[in-house]
Amino acid sequence: MSNKQDANRQASFRPIVGIDLGTTNSAVAYIHKGKPEIVPNPSSKRIIPSVVLIDLQGQVIVGEDARAACVAMPDRTVAAVKRHIGSAERIPIAGQALLPQEISALILKELKSYVDAHFGPGEKEAVITVPAYFTDEQRRATKQAGELAGFMVERIINEPTAAALAFGLAHLEEDRHVLVYDLGGGTFDVSVVEMMSGLLEVKTSNGNSQLGGEDFDWKIVDWLADQMIAEYDVDPRQDLRAKALLKDAAEKAKITLSAEETALISLPLVTVQDDRPLGIETELTRSQFVALIEPFLSETMTCLRNVLQDAGLQAGDIGEILLVGGSTRIPRVRELIRQYLGREPRTDIHPEEAVALGAAVQAGLKSGALSDSGLVATDVAPFSMGIAVLTHWKNRSVRPGSFHIIIPRNTTIPVTRSDSFYTTADYQTSASIEIYQGEHEWVKHNHRLGEFLLEGIPANEAGAEEIEVTYRYNLNGILEVTAQCVSTGKAMTVTVQDALNRESQEAFAASASRLEALFNQSAENESEPDSDDAEDEWEIDGVLAGTEEEDAETDWPTVLHSEAAALLTRAQNLLSDLAPNDRTLLQKTIDSLQAAIQGEDIDRLRELIDQATDTLIDLEV
């Protein structure tokens, strides 16, 4: 290659990185000299907590410092947002209400800052991982989060597949079946991957996108709360800060029990009742912890058995076991897998880095950085996909709502499949195409992806007009559906990724504007000189406090009125869904907040904001 060609190539070079956007932790990696490497943060940390804080000065903080603020400022921090991604429900934070993908974008933007520091400014492309059992909405929202953060997101890949890629790159000549058991902070997946001399073919996947270490933590929280209820007749979970404190203690106890048989939990002050501090000091043994989480672990083993059955394999056919995700450090997890599969899982795989490293391998395959490796990977559709149809019910009547599968689950992707259907009424001129994914024979038990209307069908007798429906499922796990009237050739195509939501472009623009305003505010506050007289410090009650001069400069009425307004919106949206007693309680809260907003008693407003937050948390559970 000439120097001029090399210069042109360098000028057009756009780095492609792999990202593990995790429930608990996140990481970003790239290919360096033929191998995947983690891009560390400025403090040389290889993974960061997936926690976002908007502090009292309006600055956006992501990572360790944000996690440290979870107890002190629970209303200004958000953790485990991955569990909400794909939902249209807004998440309150610091008096604002952001969509899950917007909060996820803040985490990804932090990771992008590490990439920019490493490669320099400019466009960056990303491969982002998701649980294999993520729905179409969750995948779309993850892709959107990456784009809001400033990445070009060309590929979404499944986490177990990524972990297998990280392993497969170092074992290209091996032929064997690999089981990937991925138990993270908020999700669980298990996949069987067949390795054939550089070809990695995902055979089957199973899992639960709402099962993980977060559930284990909350089981400990409930256990601690029950002890305090028995001793004080007070439920600490009704206090927002007390609940956050117990959650923090529960997570630390869980981690301790991975190495020790007993964890001491000592919290002198959890909450206050009648001006009396209430605390707890107790021990949690490993056997007690295992008893609390055994139902969750049993479900993972059921998924494991199902995935082997779907692959047509026996336990003895598995050549390697990869454990991925921080929750696989729990000794009982390894014990259950060893008992069932009859072999030890590998111990040389970093459970919290494997997915990011594998995403980097996929990025390297896409960019050409690993084009000479000989590695090729295929994946599968985790769900069956099809449409709602009429069906003959017990040979006597026609019943709507039957699920007709067009792409069966565990079909290798990308894939295109078509099927033919017919009009059901005389002179029918349109057909509603209802799109679902799932495994039940009736669509009401499956996951609805959307609906569109094919019009312009010639008026004819029932059954005379043929409608061909085509499903195209791409490498990102995103679906495109086409319906065509065969007699006229008239067709309508919908990319479920964005077209079913006709306001998707407007919604994306609105999200981008909100985040831009948030970062502009954060940048303005960050540029202001810090006081040389005193640094911010943590008060004993968990409220971030500064010097008197700093407090005097803060426009507390504006800040508190903004928080109260966000709480009012949240409460009013919830009101109609509640039982009568709960509705009455929430209406009183709304009335009190509205009165306080009109008044001038800032301390009273602050008190009611705390009470309203606690009430909403209780009612939204």
Rounded CA-CA distance 177/315 in Å is 10
* Known catalytic residue at 201: no
The neighbouring-strand residues paired with 180 are 191, 322
Q: How many other C-beta atoms can be found within 10 angstroms of the C-beta atom of residue 592? A: 16
Rounded CA-CA distance 166/127 in Å is 14
Residue 442 per-residue DSSP state:
B
Rounded CA-CA distance 96/76 in Å is 9
Backbone angles phi, psi at 287, to 5 degrees: -65, -35
Q: Which residues contact 459 (CB under 8 A, 6 or more apart)?
A: 427, 428, 429
Token look-up 């009012």 returns 568
Residue ranges of E strands in 137-275: 151-158, 175-183, 188-196, 199-208, 262-273
What is the rounded radius of gyration, in angstroms, for the C-alpha atoms of the chain? 27
Counts for the chain of helices (H) and strands (E), in that order: 15, 29
Q: Six-digit token pair at 481? A: 């559906």
**Do 72 and 543 meet the contact criterion of CB atoms below 8 Å apart?**
yes
**Do 180 and 322 meet the contact criterion of CB atoms below 8 Å apart?**
yes
**Active-site residue among 137, 182, 217, 251?**
182
Rounded CA-CA distance 504/481 in Å is 17
Rounded CA-CA distance 205/308 in Å is 9
Rounded CA-CA distance 195/107 in Å is 34
**Active-site residue among 82, 109, 124, 247?**
82
* Known catalytic residue at 159: yes
Rounded CA-CA distance 62/76 in Å is 12
Q: Six-digit token pair at 277? A: 């501090």
**Active-site residue among 159, 320, 352, 563?**
159
Q: How many other C-beta atoms can be found within 10 angstroms of the C-beta atom of residue 294? A: 12
Residue 164 per-residue DSSP state:
H
Instruction: Give the residue numbers annotated as catalytic, written as ranges.
Output: 20, 82, 159, 182
